[in-house]
Amino acid sequence: MAAIYVGIDVSKDRLDIHLRPGGETLSVNRSASGIIELTDTLATHSVALVILEATGGYETAVANGLAAAGLPVAVINPAQIRHYARALGRHAKTDRLDAEVIACFGEATKPPARPLADEATQLLAELIARRRQVLAMLVAERQRLSRGGTPRVVQSLKRVVRALEKELADIEGEIDLAVRGSPGWAAAEDLLVSVPGVGPDTARTLLAELPELGPLDRRQIAALVGLAPFVRQSGQWRGKSMIAGGRASVRTALFIAAQVAKRFNPVLASFYARLIAAGKPKMVATIAVAHKLLIMLNAILRERKPWIVVPVSA
């Protein structure tokens, strides 16, 4: 029986499915009963991989249901699918056509199936994401308050700021309880924060949103985060190397940590100074520090040894 690649376009209420290479299609509700109907259908096929786009959360229950049924699942960055569709000359866009393109992408590129995060990790990731949202709202309200206004508006701003501060404290308490209450997470956090420049916020973002940290090699983890620079050249032309894709929230956390590490981490401060002395722009040098920091943290979790005893090449 031929290996089947299953592309699923996930919308709020429906799943559109396309099977390659046979071309079979079906649609089910994005509900528990619909996912069961889908897994029962796929059980009659030799499924090599089920491919879904990351759709801001709608795909989570679907991916979990399929994985629980023993099916190999890969959740793909939507940008990769869009670029692939353009390469095929596919400009029309419907849910059914999107499912076909996703299936073709899986069949052509064969991305690796990755184990999904467990329930506790998903909850921590949601709390970390919610903390970012509340913090952004709090910063915005404080900025409005600093500009002043009528007494009535200032009173309203102060109430909102107090409410957001309380919510932020509650969320941070839940995150702290989750991480420090888990022996595995607590030990991993202690290892990560042993690196000068890495604080609890960065460590917890990595634990929640980069559970692959440790098992992957340095090239895989850099590509997954989007910190692996790719070369742009054609003939005699040489463009600047760039980074793109990957997990934006993790990359942002590492960039912020790199801003501190390039000043206070002796290894990374020396590395940054050499890049600046070689004429690299400050932004490029800081991104290189973030990349090196990621590789360092990956090695630390793999070896289960704190930073001071992990050799890192320049």
| Cβ contact 74:50 at 8 Å | yes
Q: Are 195 and 289 in contact (CB under 8 A)?
A: no
Q: Classify domain 4-109 at the CATH topology level.
A: Nucleotidyltransferase; domain 5 (3.30.420)
Residue 50 β-bridge partners: 6, 73
Structure confidence at residue 241 (pLDDT): 53
Q: How far apart are CA 203 and CA 135, in angstroms?
A: 17
Over range 7-34, report the average pLDDT.
91
Average pLDDT, stretch 251-279?
A: 95
Q: Which amino acid is at 235?
A: G
Tell me what pLDDT residue 193 has: 96
pLDDT at 35 over 50: yes
Label each residue of the chain as H, E or C: CCCEEEEEEECCCEEEEEEECCCCEEEEECCHHHHHHHHHHHCCCCEEEEEEECCCCHHHHHHHHHHHCCCCEEEECHHHHHHHHHHHCCCCCCHHHHHHHHHHHHHHHCCCCCCCCCHHHHHHHHHHHHHHHHHHHHHHHHHHHHCCCCHHHHHHHHHHHHHHHHHHHHHHHHHHHHHHCCHHHHHHHHHHCCCCCCCHHHHHHHHHHCCCCCCCCHHHHHHHHCCCCECCEECCEECCCECCCCCHHHHHHHHHHHHHHHHHCHHHHHHHHHHHHCCCCHHHHHHHHHHHHHHHHHHHHHHCCCHHHCCCCC
Give how far Cα 255 sits from Cα of 45, 137, 241, 252, 286, Å: 44, 21, 17, 5, 7
Question: Do residues 75 and 59 touch, judged by C-beta distance below 8 A?
Answer: yes
Question: Is a pLDDT exceeding 70 seen at residue 1?
Answer: no
The confidence score (pLDDT) of residue 232 equals: 47
**pLDDT mean over 251-273:** 95
Beta strands 47-53 and 4-10: pairing type? parallel
Domain boundaries of the chain, sorted by first residue: 4-109, 119-181, 194-309
Residue linked to tokens 């960039």: 255
Residue 117 has pLDDT above 80, yes or no: no
Across residues 5-22, what is the average pLDDT? 92
pLDDT: which is higher, 1 or 252: 252
Residue 243 pLDDT level (bands cut at 50, 70, 90): low
Question: What token pair was written down for 155?
Answer: 């009173």
Q: What is the C-alpha to C-alpha distance for residues 145 and 157, in angstroms, rounded to an integer?
A: 6
Q: What is the mean pLDDT of the chain?
A: 87
- Percent of the chain whose predicted confidence (pLDDT) is above 90: 56
Average pLDDT over residues 134-151: 94
pLDDT, average across residues 135-146: 96
Q: Give the residue, 39 or 242, on which the prediction is more confident.
A: 39
* Closest to 49 measured CA to CA, from 61, 37, 35, 63: 63
Whole-number pLDDT of residue 86 = 87
Question: What integer is the mean pLDDT of 279-293?
Answer: 94
The Cα–Cα gap between 55 and 10 comes to 7
Write down the pLDDT at residue 229.
66
More confidently predicted of 177 and 241: 177
Quick one: pLDDT at residue 233? 46
Which of 87, 85, 96 lies closest to 27, judged by CA? 96
Instruction: Kindly report, residue by residue over 95-111, the tens digit of the pLDDT.
Output: 888 899 999 999 998 88
Q: Give the model's pLDDT for residue 77.
A: 79
Kindly report whether the global pTM for this prediction surpasses the value 0.75: no
Q: Can you tell me the distance from the alpha carbon of 230 to that of 120, in angstroms, rounded to the nearest whole number? A: 34
pLDDT digits (tens, 9 = 90+) for 148-161: 889 999 999 999 99
What pLDDT does residue 66 have? 87
Please give the pLDDT value at position 53.
87
Residue 309 pLDDT more than 60?
A: no
* Whole-number percent of the chain with pLDDT over 70: 91
In angstroms, the first-to-last Cα distance of the chain is 50
Could you report the per-residue pLDDT of 193-236, keeping only the tens digit for each?
999 999 999 999 999 988 888 888 888 888 888 887 654 444 54
